[in-house]
A = this chain, B = another copy of it.
């Protein structure tokens, strides 16, 4: 007898389960139930409708129910909300959201792929207003876009600086709107550490987004929002994107187990505690292989893998469940920003012993057009050198470097492995010693105790405590902008001016990107100086780290002029 597979939710996870099950089993009866009017839309592309990059909102819908029927013999019932799961009877109750009519459907296997809901705190006054929007599906984004267009709205506030908030803010800004982005934490884009996030903050500011950090929304008015700080921001439309919560209502109601993270708990096979009910996608709890703890991860790639694994398991096909590491990338105006694995924050929270390097090499050979600095931060386990994570930000191909690191993490690679990686090189694509090789070399020197360094986050303290800082760039570079109390001893004059370098106190060195200062550090050490310290990230890193904070606080600058190139 043929299997009857019912699937709740028809977007990434649900549609993938359906398609995979069909390929395995031509006879199965496969039905997807979707609350909204669309199945299979491009979730991750929704924000691009706001800038017009995806001009026609309907293009976001990838397949209609008719196509599912004709091409894959899969029934996709839209406007069909599943309101109850009757586990004992192996039935679900489906409500037609247009007519209100309810009916029952029985299943052999049931798959939950309900996704996650945008969080809308009731404590915010005005949160239910018609000027408040969320971005979860095609209906949402079209509604937001037409509201803005029809009411000719110019001032818009986006609340929440995660992927969705940032992409919505960017696309609205690209459409010429006055956009305020409000984030409760002291940084946007949580996958990045605070130091790396400053580069993104600068870009937001440079592109004219009114970025407000460490502040939350208290009240939403018709033409403004009021923040916790008392600040008032002009906004005739508000997009709420402070986060999502897994849709667990149905699961809870029928007694399925919920995990410690508040998402649906599943086993190796993406089965819930009911042997006939699977769950996949943003509603489930996944296992983070780096922290070795349950976690949540709302990303399309893992959802697809889970979907395939669940369908396979229905038919006794083996699959591997490696847990997740979390890899993502986002374009923020002229910058690309990608990350994978652990960052400092998550490593600390998990109690994992780590160290890191932060380098800013060129993303291709300097002679080539559009060669730009790439900010690259590599996190590794101390003292083993096992690679734990990385973050990369720049105008160039950050995703390439992060994918290599993601691969290394998955394969259990160490710094020694990373150093030896033989990656493809041509002047238009990178450098002979690739950024990831370079990061491994610096990290190994640290790990093996060959030299010491301080991060850019400590430089202000060094300047304020009047530490001895040598800037080894050439004179014209120094003249164009430098740390206020740095001494300029260019690398080219270095060995002739040793008498200016004290032996009785710590000596900090930097250049533009730490390549020259590293050479100077090694030279000094070899000449018997035993307390020389490289400033990781050097002048580029210092400039990027200080800039945004200087602008918003108006505090005294530690540099005469910034340098970002």
A328 proximal to B (CB < 8 A) = yes
Among A123-131, A209-217, A479-487, A488-496, the stretch that binds chain B is A488-496
CB closest chain-B residue, reference A326: B422
User: Are A411 and B422 interface neighbours, CB within 8 A?
Assistant: no
User: Are B422 and A410 interface neighbours, CB within 8 A?
Assistant: yes
State the Cβ distance, A424 to closest chain B Cβ, in Å. Answer: 4
Given contacts A300-B432, A408-B411, A411-B408, contact A305 B425 (CB under 8 A): no
State the Cβ distance, A517 to closest chain B Cβ, in Å. Answer: 12
For A72, what are the chain B residues with a Cβ–Cβ distance below 8 Å?
519
A536 proximal to B (CB < 8 A) = no
User: Are B299 and A526 interface neighbours, CB within 8 A?
Assistant: no
- Identical copies of this chain, number: 2
A271 proximal to B (CB < 8 A) = no
Contact residues on A (Cβ < 8 Å of other chain), bracket: 35 or more
User: Are A424 and B411 interface neighbours, CB within 8 A?
Assistant: no
Given contacts A44-B426, A70-B492, A300-B432, contact A367 B54 (CB under 8 A): yes
A284-319 CB contacts (< 8 Å) to partner B: 299-305
A134 proximal to B (CB < 8 A) = no
CB closest chain-B residue, reference A67: B492
Contact partner, A399, options B328, B336, B417, B424, Cβ 8 Å: B424
A145 proximal to B (CB < 8 A) = no
For A412, what are the chain B residues with a Cβ–Cβ distance below 8 Å?
411
Given contacts A44-B426, A424-B338, A424-B339, contact A320 B416 (CB under 8 A): yes
Cα–Cα distance between A379 and B188 once the two chains are bound (Å): 41
A230 proximal to B (CB < 8 A) = no
For A48, what are the chain B residues with a Cβ–Cβ distance below 8 Å?
367-368, 427
A421 proximal to B (CB < 8 A) = yes
Cα–Cα distance between A257 and B565 once the two chains are bound (Å): 48
User: Are A423 and B327 interface neighbours, CB within 8 A?
Assistant: yes
A407-459 CB contacts (< 8 Å) to partner B: 407-408, 410-413, 416-417, 420-430, 432-434, 437
